[in-house]
Amino acid sequence: MHPKVKELILRFKQKKAKAIIRWSFASIAVSTTAFLLISPFYQLGFNMGDSLPGYVFLIKKKELPHKGEMVAFYPPKNRFYRHAWFVKIIVGTEGDKIRYDGDKLFINDNYYGVAKSLTRNGEPLAKTENKTIESHHIFAWSPHKDSYDSRYKDFNTIPYSSIVGRAIRLF
């Protein structure tokens, strides 16, 4: 066989192999995404803000996370977000003590930042009152200084019934 013909055949086989690999990866990605969109056990979540690191989360539905883990939940009706669910970190659970020293937040005497009195747009914010976290509720928090979370009265602690599931950062 002529060397140029052999070279053409080799290039064709290499292109075909690359195309098969590309289509395989695309098929896996589409199948995985479709599964996650219709799965009763998992869901993909997207972080459009900067309150937590990461942009894509895997939500394990109906799994109650523990303190220190991320949680996906529907916030109470509020004036800022009407149809969104949130991903935050659980820093307080049933029986934990919420206490403010001025605007500084403490949960069981651990410091968790400041509760602001105004939003970035100048709207007033009231902080959650000093209290013990009630049964079947969590304190959802983010380390970002502008995070809208359980620090604020119109957000407050989150009942278990509002939890979608445990959130795991993918990237």
How would CATH label the architecture of 42-169?
Ribbon (2.10)
Q: What is the mean pLDDT of the chain?
A: 88
pLDDT score of 149 more than 70: yes
DSSP codes of every residue in 86-123: EEEEEEEETTPEEEEETTEEEETTEEEEE--SB-TTS-
DSSP 8-state secondary structure symbol assigned to residue 75: P
pLDDT at 9: 67
**Contacts for 57 with CB less than 8 Å, ≥ 6 apart:** 44, 45, 46, 47, 70, 72, 87, 167, 168, 169, 170
Q: How many CB atoms are closer than 10 A to CB 78?
A: 13
Q: How confident is the model at residue 5 (pLDDT cuts 50, 70, 90)?
A: low
Closest C-alpha to 127, from 109, 106, 108: 106
56-108, pLDDT tens digit by residue? 899 999 899 999 999 999 998 888 887 788 999 999 999 999 999 999 999 99
Q: Which two tokens stand for residue 167?
A: 């959130």
Q: Give alpha helix (H) positions in the chain.
A: 3-38
Torsion of CA 99, 168, 154, 117, to 10 degrees: 60
Of all residues in the chain, the percent with pLDDT exceeding 90 is 56
When comparing pLDDT for 14 and 98, which is higher?
Answer: 98
